[in-house]
Amino acid sequence: MDLIENPAFLSLFAQVQVMDAVLMASLKSHPRPVELLDHIEQNIALVRSVSAQRATDGPIGKLADKQMHPQAEGWLSYARNVLAMG
């Protein structure tokens, strides 16, 4: 079975599309997009700081921190791209 025919994949893909549409609409409709982006950046910086501290707790924290960084960059990039479109 190809991935595109896999019901679990199709369900997950549909969920991601819905989340993308909701997030994009929420970001674009914000009355002060520059302030919103600044707030997003501050919160992600806080999460990164906490994650870096937890990385010193042991291998699980270190792995979580390693996985979190690309995710954080992805969310920042997404927010910047959506807000730049607005």
Please give the biggest Cα pair distance in the chain. 47
| Domain span holding position 40 | 3-85
Tell me the CA distances in angstroms from 21 to 15, 17, 55, 86, one per residue in order: 10, 6, 33, 14
Global pTM value: 0.65
pLDDT band at 11 (very low <50, low <70, confident <90, very high): confident
Mean pLDDT of the chain: 85
Contact 46, 33 (CB under 8 A): no
What are the pLDDT digits (tens) for 27-61?
888 888 888 888 888 988 998 898 899 889 988 88
Domain count for the chain, please give it: 1
Region at 2 (left for phi over 0; alpha for psi -120 to 50; beta for the rest): beta
Q: H helices of 29-58, where?
A: 33-55
